[in-house]
Amino acid sequence: MSVSLQKGQKVSLSKGNDSLNRVVVGLGWDQIQQKKGGFFGGLLGAKEQDIDCDASALLLQNGKLMNKDDIVYFGNLRHKSGAIQHMGDNLTGAGEGDDEQIVINLADVPQQYDRIIMVVNIYQAVQRRQNFGLIENAFIRIVDARTNEEMCKFNLTDNYDNMTAMIFGEIYRHNGEWKFSAIGQGTTDPGLGELIQRYI
């Protein structure tokens, strides 16, 4: 049975599930449907731009990002250890269910990594004048890859107007257990390059 998490809550992924070794991190969002700009908007051909959100996983050692190779994103879909695989870029967030997925083989994550941070940023947010206030139904969920059973889900409900990036949550090791923490922290970082500076 899936656990519905609130911001700041933590849950054990491996407690009572010792054989858990592979999870799918699903991230989803929808673009708020805005009304067209009336007669003149239609006349001038005003068109909303799709919001392109990019999910990334940051592998940290003692809470720090030590190497750019430890960023798994649309430009580096597979971690060098083979333990983490990004399943590809979704350019619009359209459609039901997960918009982007990151698969983690927990058993294969090298011991030096203690946490995996899941972040999402809006591609070219500043240039396109877009922010998370234009997004609704954002969530992160963890699925047991063997059974396809959802283990936990965190729906983001705060007001994220003017925020251009989001720290959704983290999977981390604690006393030999894998846990998940629901973070939901919005930031004004204009891109992934600035967002990762928080962990260097």
Strand partners, 10: 181
Tell me the per-residue pLDDT of 124-148, one tens digit each, with 9 for 90 and over. Answer: 999 999 999 999 999 999 999 999 9
Give the three-class secondary structure for 128: helix
Domain locations in the chain as residue ranges: 3-33+50-186
Tell me the per-residue pLDDT of 68-92, one tens digit each, with 9 for 90 and over. Answer: 999 999 999 999 999 999 998 665 4
Residues 6+ apart with CB under 8 A from 106: 13, 14, 20, 21, 22, 23, 83, 171, 178
* Confidence band for 14, pLDDT divided at 50, 70 and 90: confident
Provide mean pLDDT across the span 44-52: 65
Tell me what the pLDDT averaged over the chain comes to.
89
Residues 26 and 97: their CA atoms lie apart, in Å, by 8
| Rounded to 5°, angle at Cα 76 from 74 and 81 | 135
pLDDT recorded at residue 138: 92
pLDDT recorded at residue 46: 46
Top pLDDT among 103 and 14 is at 103
CATH number of 3-33+50-186: 2.60.60.30
pLDDT at 184 over 80: yes
* Most confident by average pLDDT, 11-15, 51-55, 150-154: 150-154
